[in-house]
Amino acid sequence: MSTAAPHAPGRLDRDAVTYVAGHRGLVGGAVWRHFEAEGFTRLVGRSSRELDLRDRDAVFAFFREVRPEVVVVAAAKVGGILANDTYPADFLSENLQIQVNLMDAAREQRTPRLLFLGSSCIYPKFAEQPIREDSLLTGALEPTNDAYAIAKIAGIMQVQSIRRQDDLHYISAMPTNLYGPGDNFDPKGSHVLPALIRRFHEAAEAGVPSVTCWGSGTPRREFLHVDDLARACLFLLENYDSPETINVGTGEDLTIRELAETVADVVGYTGTIEWDTSKPDGTPRKLLDVSRLEQLGWKPSVRLPDGLRSTYEWYLAHLETLRG
């Protein structure tokens, strides 16, 4: 990994054509809202029905037509432990297709600025905590989501390769675990936090005496509100220009047991919480070292209890469309 010192590329033109790939997802939706609030006047988005990002010819045709000047790659096939462990070939293949197509099309148009978003699962399972960016590729990955991680690592390498070969100032950032409005609450494909919100809500509604959660509850996790990530995306596009990926997180974590208890409290569930230790825990701890981002002058602003309450309120407001 290069250790070239970052420098500030400068304020983005609010009238630049800005394409948010995955603008209807959890991350892309937050990026769209934040950029809109910041005065961007030419935001562009396409739903998966309008543009299949796995279709290389369609992606190239879209870039030739729209000619974006700023691209945020927030589109990805995502899921929790169960989904990643069950469909590793799908997670590897589809994510590689999406990011290669987007970045190659951007290269062809010489799009000036692009931000590729990855995931903290790129780091070794037993990386030294908190995890620094230079721990990438220094150890074995967590087996339950290694296929997804390899795809994201390939995305980082593509950004670095484009910088070397084409002199285009693309960057990548690795967010920690995300949550917020627009999350996936599907019990078969969701991440831990939305899954807990749904499970405890349904348990409270049904009046069941106990809820069983996967694993031992001892792994520690860090959670970043997606609105904070959106703010970080714009900040990095305007203040960061280095081949090395950069972590985006809170620098604080808690156990899954503590998370479950907090969610139960927010939802109003008063039963007992049981733990099924026959189920996988995943990585024992995954806390990002965010000192490089802090040195640039950025910090998150949404506290976890506040973010959980607003996410639960969003869940309640959209309950009818989320059932199933």
Closest Cα partner for 146 from 220, 74, 88?
A: 88
* Both structure tokens of 147: 């296929």
pLDDT in tens, 224-280: 999 999 999 999 999 999 999 999 999 999 999 999 999 999 999 999 999 999 998
**What are φ and ψ of residue 19, in 5° steps?**
-100, 120
80 versus 31: the higher-pLDDT residue is 31
Q: Is 22 annotated as a binding residue?
A: yes
Tell me whether the omega of the peptide bond preceding residue 280 falls within 30 degrees of 0, making it cis: no
Q: Is 79 annotated as a binding residue?
A: no
211 versus 323: the higher-pLDDT residue is 211
| 312 catalytically annotated | no
Q: Thinking of the domain 18-182+223-251+287-302, which architecture would CATH place it in?
A: 3-Layer(aba) Sandwich (3.40)
Which amino acid, one-letter code, is at 60? Answer: F
Q: Is 115 annotated as a binding residue?
A: no
Rounded-to-integer distance, Cα 322 and Cα 189, Å:
13
Rounded-to-integer distance, Cα 21 and Cα 28, Å:
7
Residue 142 has a pLDDT of 87
Kindly state the average pLDDT of the residues 141-160.
Answer: 95
β-strand pairing of 210-214 with 272-276: parallel
Q: Is 175 annotated as a binding residue?
A: yes
> What Å distances lie between residue 89 and 76, 156, 247, 260, 293, CA to CA?
14, 20, 26, 30, 33
**pLDDT reading at 159 higher than 90:** yes
Kindly state the average pLDDT of the residues 173-189.
Answer: 89
Cβ within 8 Å of residue 310, ≥6 positions away: 180, 181
Query: Residue 81 — pLDDT band, cuts 50, 70, 90?
Result: confident
Q: In this structure, are residues 127 and 139 in contact, taking their beta carbons and an 8 Å threshold?
A: yes
Q: Is 176 annotated as a binding residue?
A: yes
Q: Is 152 annotated as a binding residue?
A: yes
Kindly state the average pLDDT of the residues 58-71.
Answer: 98
104 versus 145: the higher-pLDDT residue is 104
Residue 206 has a pLDDT of 96
Q: Is 25 annotated as a binding residue?
A: yes
- Using CB atoms within 10 Å of the CB of residue 101, give its burial: 0 to 12 exposed, 13 to 18 middle, 19+ buried: buried
Task: Catalytic residue, from 19, 123, 148, 170: name it.
Answer: 148
Q: For the beta carbon of residue 72, count every other beta carbon within 10 angstroms.
A: 27
Distance of CA 242 to the CA centre of its chain: 20
Q: Which residues of 28-46 are buried (b: 16+ CB within 10 A; e: fewer)?
A: bbbbbbbbeeeebeebbbb
Q: Is 281 annotated as a binding residue?
A: yes
Q: In this structure, are residues 40 and 230 in contact, taking their beta carbons and an 8 Å threshold?
A: no
248 versus 192: the higher-pLDDT residue is 248
Residue 8 has a pLDDT of 64
pLDDT in tens, 5-64: 445 689 999 999 999 999 999 999 999 999 999 999 999 999 999 999 999 999 999 999
**pLDDT reading at 189 higher than 80:** no
**pLDDT reading at 1 higher than 50:** no
Average pLDDT, the chain: 93
Rounded-to-integer distance, Cα 303 and Cα 56, Å:
40
pLDDT in tens, 193-210: 999 999 999 999 999 999
% of the chain at pLDDT higher than 90: 84
Q: In this structure, are residues 262 and 308 in contact, taking their beta carbons and an 8 Å threshold?
A: yes
Closest Cα partner for 85 from 30, 21, 149, 28?
A: 149
What distance separates the 2 farthest-apart alpha carbons in the chain? 60
Q: In this structure, are residues 99 and 106 in contact, taking their beta carbons and an 8 Å threshold?
A: no
